[in-house]
């Protein structure tokens, strides 16, 4: 079955770089149509799509954070990594990774990780 799990630091200092890892199973990111995304949710607030990486290693980012985000994959480890530079307290959020199966043409997140809360504080 498909599972995704986020991991990374629970606490980050302002101006530091955040590195989050999404470890997944039940599918391969080298399979045509498979994509992994990062989505975040500040406490009590709405979901925000952040980044997308696909089976051809193409990458897309939300415009507002494009200069701070990098998404990458390690196909051999079934992992996707998100880095976000220059962290600020407003970046405090639960960060989720989620799958899209583009072959279905739906651009919907069919499987999600449980999320990891990242707090930015000095």
115 counts as binding another protein under rule CB under 8 A: yes
8 counts as binding another protein under rule CB under 8 A: no
113 counts as binding another protein under rule CB under 8 A: yes
The span from the CA of 81 to the CA of 97, in Å, is 10
62 counts as binding another protein under rule CB under 8 A: yes
Nearest to 99 by CA among 26, 19, 43: 26
How many residues of this chain bind another protein (CB under 8 A)? Answer: 27
Q: Could you tell me which stretch among 12-20, 25-33, 43-51, 71-79 binds another protein (CB under 8 A)?
A: 43-51
**Alpha carbon separation from 97 to 3, 15, 88, 121, 122 (Å, rounded):** 10, 23, 20, 23, 26
DSSP helix/strand/coil, 82: strand
Residues that bind another protein (CB under 8 A): 37, 39, 45-49, 52, 54, 58, 60-64, 96, 98, 105-110, 112-115
């Amino acid at each position: 079955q498909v599972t995704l799990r986020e991991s990374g630091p629970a606490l980050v200092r302002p101006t530091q770089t955040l590195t989050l890892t999404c470890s997944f199973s039940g599918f391969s990111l080298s399979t045509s149509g498979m994509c992994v995304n990062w989505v975040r949710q500040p406490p009590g607030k709405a979901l925000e799509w952040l980044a997308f990486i696909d089976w051809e290693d193409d990458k897309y980012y939300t415009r507002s954070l494009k200069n701070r985000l990098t998404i990458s994959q390690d196909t051999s480890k079934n992992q996707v990594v998100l880095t976000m530079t220059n962290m600020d307290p407003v970046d405090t959020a639960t960060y989720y990774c989620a799958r899209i199966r583009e072959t279905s043409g739906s651009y919907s997140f069919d499987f999600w990780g449980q999320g990891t809360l990242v707090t930015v504080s000095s």
